[in-house]
């Protein structure tokens, strides 16, 4: 029984160390792949008609012809490079969504994002229910 607990502890420790390495050092782009997958799964579940861009159809951002009316170019480029299909995102923000962002992120951070600051992963996770 003691050996099983030792092996289990070792496996859990190695798993935690692996997660820390992926989060901080991004070897092989695994962090980006995990974040991209999580965001696309969430958007697929919560936005009617949303479809992620297939990997074989991804082109450099500079070659994309669509320009989202609500998203500044720097933000659009960042989320496109995460694999988000920008053309499938909503093109209007309701007053309820605006209030939710302000309550969730705080007025200062919501204003920064509205003025073009790139939202962080924590901003997205905190405000995901506002979409």
Render pLDDT for 92-112 as a digit per residue (tens, 0 to 9). Answer: 888 898 899 899 999 999 899
Quote the pTM value: 0.67
Report pLDDT for 65.
Answer: 84
What's the gap between Cα 120 and its chain centre? 8
| Positive/negative CA dihedral, 122, 128, 130, 131 | positive
- Most confident of the following: 3-7, 81-85, 123-127: 3-7
Work out the number of other CB atoms within 10 angstroms of the CB of residue 76.
19
Nearest-angstrom CA–CA distance, 47 and 26? 29
29-57 pLDDT, tens digit per residue, is 898 888 889 889 988 998 888 888 888 88
Sequence ranges of the domains in the chain? 29-92
């Amino acid at each position: 029984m003691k050996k099983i607990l030792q092996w289990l502890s070792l496996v859990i420790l190695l798993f935690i160390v692996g997660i820390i390495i992926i989060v901080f050092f991004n070897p092989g782009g695994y962090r980006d792949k995990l974040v991209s997958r999580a965001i696309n799964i969430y958007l697929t579940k919560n936005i009617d008609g949303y479809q992620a861009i297939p990997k074989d159809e991804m082109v450099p951002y500079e070659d994309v012809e669509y320009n989202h009316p609500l998203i500044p170019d720097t933000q659009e480029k960042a989320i496109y490079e995460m694999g988000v299909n920008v053309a499938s995102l909503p093109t209007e923000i309701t007053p309820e969504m605006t209030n939710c962002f302000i309550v969730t992120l705080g007025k200062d951070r919501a204003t920064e994002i509205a003025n073009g600051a790139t939202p962080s992963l924590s901003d997205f996770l905190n405000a995901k229910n506002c979409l």
